[in-house]
Structure 1
Amino acid sequence: MTVRVLILPGLFNSGAEHWQSHWEQRYSGLHRVKQENWETPACTDWVNNLQKKISKSERPVVLVGHSLACALIARWAQEYPAQAKRVRGALLVAPSDTEASSYPAGTTGFTPMPLNALPFDAITVASTNDPYVSRERATAFSEAWGSELVWLENAGHINAEGGVGAWPEGIELLFKLTGDPQFKHS
């Protein structure tokens, strides 16, 4: 049985040049979770929306989160442990430290950062020069979540501004979680 891949953008959504958008255009079966409020989100609303999407899926789910969506995934797994069994894995890219002074104002309920172990396989991808998370905090998040940690050198916030483009290396990581041959680069 194939999995359902849910794309979870962070604060302000992911624009046309973001790797999440590139992936949606290139690969079938990826579904962006649309939130009602991208600029000043409330964690409760985002968690409830994610819960609805996962509960509607007839297939196992793989979550692909960027930035604030990493905190969303960890919070959702903490609040819905029974539903978390439906998740095969999560790709947690550029987790933002919502407790850091560098984090943009306007979000509600995303602190403290959830640090419970995730009940599914996960890969955290962090950049050595991300303005929204220190190397130490990214490492601490990955360890707490029980995820594999992959470092990218000088990729900023691992978005369009960081120059990752369609990010084929990320697709390889997604393949590790899904086993779906459409994500296997030759």
Structure 2
Amino acid sequence: MAFGGDTTILFVPGLRDHVEDHWQTHAARAIPGAVTVAPLAADRLSRAGQVAAVDAALRAIPGEVVIVAHSAGCLTTVHWALAPTRPIRAALLVAPADIETPLPAGYPEPAALRAGGWFPIPRKALPFPAITVASRNDPLAAFDRVTGFADAWGTALHDAGNVGHLNPAAGYGPWPELFGLLDRLDDHARSAVR
């Protein structure tokens, strides 16, 4: 991985929090010094609570930070970026969930997400370089919707192909491609500084 030893990778999980066999869990164990945002003890569907948890994690990390978010964690990250409290080196936004369209059974209902303050999904350029990873067959977000988010956020787009929602239900587990994407993100961040 190209980011230097003084850079901390902060993993921002989705609303289902810490899943033992999720690629984020595997990667957090594999990357020295990585930090994962702790799950909320209560009111986990609160957007404000999730953003505050990310902010608290970021404030506790000295030096440079790269955010690696998944699903609703991407939405938490873009909500946090509306009023950032510190600089971020870069972010990798993997399979953002499109909560503005009905989600499959077993996921939060639109009314609960609306009550939690998640709507609308921000469509403002991020104040840091980022790559959005889109799946062509994600049950939680159509490819063209994620492409639109990436354009609005001013991020590069990575077409991951047919990888579902990039979660254990889709077979991920370890996701070796992550490390190549972090190298690409490092290059992207370096060129943004020039």
TM-score, normalised on structure 1?
Answer: 0.87
Q: Which residue of 2 aligns with 1:148?
A: 156
- Conserved 8 A contact 1:62-1:178: no
Coordinate RMSD, CA, aligned = 1.8
Residue 162 of structure 1: CA displacement?
Answer: 1.4
Q: Which runs of 5+ in 1 are unaligned?
A: 180-186
Residue 64 of structure 1: CA displacement?
Answer: 0.6
Q: Which residue of 2 aligns with 1:67?
A: 71
Query: Which segment is superposed worse, 59-68 or 150-159?
Result: 150-159
Q: Which runs of 5+ in 2 are unaligned?
A: 188-194
- Conserved 8 A contact 1:13-1:38: no
Q: Does residue 169 of structure 1 match 2:177? A: yes
Query: 2: distance between equivalents of 1:177 and 1:24?
Result: 17
Q: Which residue of 2 aligns with 1:96?
A: 97
Query: 2: distance between equivalents of 1:39 and 1:170?
Result: 30
Query: Which segment is superposed worse, 167-176 or 103-112?
Result: 103-112
- Conserved 8 A contact 1:156-1:162: yes
Per-residue CA shift, 1:102-146, capped at 9, x if unaligned? 263233111100111001110111110101111111000000111
Residue 164 of structure 1: CA displacement?
Answer: 3.2
Q: For residues 35 and 120 of structure 1, do their structure 2 counterparts lie closer, same or farther at Cα, with a shift above 3 Å needed?
A: same
TM-score, normalised on structure 2?
Answer: 0.84
Q: Which residue of 2 aligns with 1:113?
A: 121
Count of residues in correspondence between the two structures: 176
Query: 2: distance between equivalents of 1:115 and 1:171?
Result: 27
Q: Percent identity?
A: 37
- Conserved 8 A contact 1:12-1:39: no
SS in 1 for 2:82: helix
- Conserved 8 A contact 1:65-1:92: yes
Q: For residues 39 and 173 of structure 1, do their structure 2 counterparts lie closer, same or farther at Cα, with a shift above 3 Å needed?
A: farther
